Copies of this chain bind each other. A is one copy, B any other.
Amino acid sequence: MSTLLREHGFRVTKGKQALLQALHAHNAPLSVGALHEALGKHAPNPTTLYRSLLDLANAGIVRRTDLNTGIAHFEYTPERPHHHHIVCTSCNAIEEIDLCNVGTLEKKVARASKQFAHIDTHSLEFFGHCRACAQ
């Protein structure tokens, strides 16, 4: 974790280490609030969280997704293959999906587009109800 930070030119601080550790452990998009809570006693100031997450996102170490909730979620990306999520529209539970065949569609779309020079990435989320909320 520390080498990862160094490789990207970040200083190795307790805050960023703990933050990455927590994101890595949770293994799903986490809102800033939830992340702050998860860090508990050693949590950095929310301000610092936002700043760190922004930097880490620019470095490509974490990925931002809003999941159509209006609030930012972040997930740890290294060692993780490209994947997507199902979100429960009642309780906001999130499950990971390890399959993605959008790659070919992405190429097709890039070719069909008139206004766009190239496509860098995509986000695909499914929305439904988890078993607990389904009844």
Contact = CB atoms under 8 A, between A and B. Distances in A.
User: Taking the full assembly, how many copies of this chain does it contain?
Assistant: 2
Interface in A72-96: 72, 86, 88-89, 93, 95
Identify which of A70, A112, A116, A133 gathers the most chain B CB atoms within 10 Å of its CB.
A116
Given A109-B126, A123-B127, A116 B95 contact: yes
Interface of A: 64-66, 68-72, 86, 88-89, 93, 95, 97, 99, 101-102, 105-106, 108-110, 112-131, 133-134
A93 B71 CA distance: 21
A131 B119 contact: no
A86 B109 contact: yes
Contacts of A86: 109, 113, 115-116, 119
Contact of A65 (B68, B72, B88): B68
Identify which of A68, A89, A128, A131 gathers the most chain B CB atoms within 10 Å of its CB.
A128
